[in-house]
């Protein structure tokens, strides 16, 4: 029962709200602490994400395949597509595409065209079909079969020959046969048998030649079975499918169109652009991490407030380690190739726009790659018991930070999760207490109003008695 201060004149609802707001300060303090911990956890997870990106960049730099990557330049890339694997010989070639591979395609002659794809053949019999590279399959034809039925039977035979019906004009449909594979070895083969004529009709017609028009002088050969042919440094090579993958070690050539009399130059060289880009991607990821750590650890002297990771010793440790490789040497490497600065990877000079960042001198890096690509690889990826390249060292350090069991960042993340969960439990517990406290306050105020109401009622009663003489001594 809420009396709302009708008797006492007090605004009990306001009083209760004010008292509960004071009690709720405990919740606000816990929520504030919770937000701080959540912000710190998010900050560490952002750092983890940035470190993971660096790891992915390091994955390339520590492998020899990157530094042995090759690129191919063609004077006319419309003639062929050429790719080179790591380690392919760096040299030049001459290339001509003489002809492309073709599939064997034949069709019935025009005078043997059918009026409809569903027109019945009217003759029965068998014939064999296949390619010169495989086994001939027997096809059985019934009098009731249509041109479409025949195509379906050929396709179902899995003979290496595909059949389809095409419309070549008004009321003109023809059967087209094509080898499923290109090349001279896949020429269509047909073996004829004498057809069984309809009732009352004489023998003397062959099913393939006379009824279907697929053999004999009258058939049409749309495309001959043909191998692709190229000339590489004066030598002729052939392929059934336009791909020449075993002609040169580590090089794959796909012919695209005949070059005629033109000779195409083909140059295989080290793909320095790819290596430079990989180094730049790694450096950019390091700079991004540095920017992130600076932002997350900032402290405002005037407001005396710090960012989520302000004062964290691990932040300072990571910042130090990121910059360390650019001032150290790889032991056991030649003096000319044992520091990153020697290949153009340095920290920005004091007073420059790049101060505090890691920068890449692309020209210097390319010169180092042209001079000693293997040495550059060993600078990054050398992995021996006593000597490790910078990429290997940094990768191992990041792994130690991110280890799911003992990594410093993972340990912090799990600890923060535990603290956040405890605060959630505390808030829930306080909320239950506050709910009970509000009930007690309402009960107390209600009891007070009721007591005051009784006193007021008694006072009114005595006043009435006095005024009415009810208390005289008669």
> Which residues span the domain enclosing 88?
70-101+227-270
pLDDT at 212 over 90: no
Give percent of the chain above pLDDT 90: 51
Same domain, 110 and 179: yes
Across 456-463, average pLDDT: 68
- pLDDT per residue over 274-313, tens digit each? 999 999 999 999 999 999 999 999 988 888 889 999 999 9
Q: From 191, 223, 255, give the residue that closes a domain.
A: 223
Same domain, 151 and 246: no
How far is it between the farthest Cα atoms of the chain? Answer: 156
Same domain, 88 and 164: no
Instruction: Please indicate whether residue 333 or residue 225 has the higher confidence score (pLDDT).
Output: 225
Same domain, 57 and 40: yes
Answer whether residue 446 is part of any domain.
yes
Answer whether residue 353 is part of any domain.
no
Q: Under 8 Å CB-to-CB from 301, ≥6 apart: which residues?
A: none
Across 402-430, average pLDDT: 92
Same domain, 244 and 287: no
Same domain, 173 and 112: yes
Same domain, 235 and 301: no
Tokens of 13: 């609802």
Same domain, 309 and 393: yes
Tokens of 407: 């990594």
What DSSP state is assigned to residue 184? G
Residue among 227, 283, 330 nearest 61 (CA): 283
Answer whether residue 167 is part of any domain.
yes
Same domain, 206 and 113: yes
- pLDDT per residue over 90-122, tens digit each? 999 999 999 999 999 998 876 667 788 898 888
Strand-pairing partners, residue 347, are 358
pLDDT at 80 over 50: yes
Same domain, 163 and 251: no
- Helix, strand, or coil (residue 190): strand
Same domain, 5 and 62: yes
Same domain, 61 and 24: yes
């Amino acid at each position: 029962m809420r009396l709302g201060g009708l008797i006492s004149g007090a605004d009990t609802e306001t009083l209760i709200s004010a008292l509960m707001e004071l009690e709720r300060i405990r919740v606000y303090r816990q929520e504030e602490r919770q937000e701080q911990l959540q912000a710190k956890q998010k900050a560490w997870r952002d750092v983890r994400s940035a470190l993971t990106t660096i790891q992915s960049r390091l994955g390339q730099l520590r492998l020899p395949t990157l530094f042995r990557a090759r690129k191919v330049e063609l004077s006319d890339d419309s003639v062929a597509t050429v790719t080179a694997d790591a380690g392919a010989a760096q040299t030049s070639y001459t290339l001509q595409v003489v002809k492309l591979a073709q599939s064997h395609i034949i069709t019935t002659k025009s005078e043997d065209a059918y009026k409809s794809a569903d027109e019945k053949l009217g003759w029965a019999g068998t014939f064999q079909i296949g390619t010169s590279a495989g086994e001939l399959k027997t096809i059985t034809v019934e009098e009731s079969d249509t041109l479409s039925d025949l195509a379906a039977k050929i396709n179902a035979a899995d003979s290496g020959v595909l059949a389809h019906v095409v419309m070549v004009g008004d009321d003109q449909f023809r059967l087209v046969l094509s080898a499923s594979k290109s090349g001279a070895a896949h020429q269509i083969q047909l073996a004829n048998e004498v057809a069984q004529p309809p009732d009352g009709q004489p023998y003397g017609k062959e099913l393939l030649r006379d009824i279907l028009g697929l053999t004999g002088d009258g058939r049409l050969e749309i495309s001959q079975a043909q191998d692709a042919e190229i000339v590489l440094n004066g030598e002729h090579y052939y392929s059934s499918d336009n791909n020449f993958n075993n002609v040169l070690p580590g090089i794959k050539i796909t012919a695209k169109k005949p070059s005629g009399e033109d000779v195409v130059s083909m140059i295989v060289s080290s793909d320095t652009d790819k290596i430079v880009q990989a180094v730049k991607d790694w450096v950019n990821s390091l700079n991004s991490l540095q920017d992130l750590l600076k932002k997350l650890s900032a402290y405002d002297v005037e407001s005396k407030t710090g960012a989520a990771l302000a004062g964290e010793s691990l932040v300072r440790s990571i910042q130090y380690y990121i910059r360390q490789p650019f001032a150290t040497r790889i032991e056991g490497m030649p003096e000319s190739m044992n520091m990153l600065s020697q290949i153009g990877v340095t920290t920005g000079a004091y007073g420059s726009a790049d101060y505090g960042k890691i920068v890449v001198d692309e020209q210097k890096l390319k010169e180092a790659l042209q001079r000693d690509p293997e040495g550059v690889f060993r600078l990054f990826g050398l992995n021996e018991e006593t000597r490790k390249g910078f990429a290997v060292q940094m990768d191992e350090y990041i792994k130690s930070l991110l280890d799911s069991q003992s990594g410093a960042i993972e340990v912090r993340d799990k600890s923060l999760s535990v603290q956040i969960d405890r605060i959630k439990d505390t808030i829930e517990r306080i909320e239950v207490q506050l709910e009970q406290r509000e009930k007690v306050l309402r009960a107390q105020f209600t009891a007070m109003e009721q007591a005051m109401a009784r006193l007021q009622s008694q006072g009114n009663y005595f006043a009435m008695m006095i005024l009415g003489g009810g208390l005289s001594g008669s």
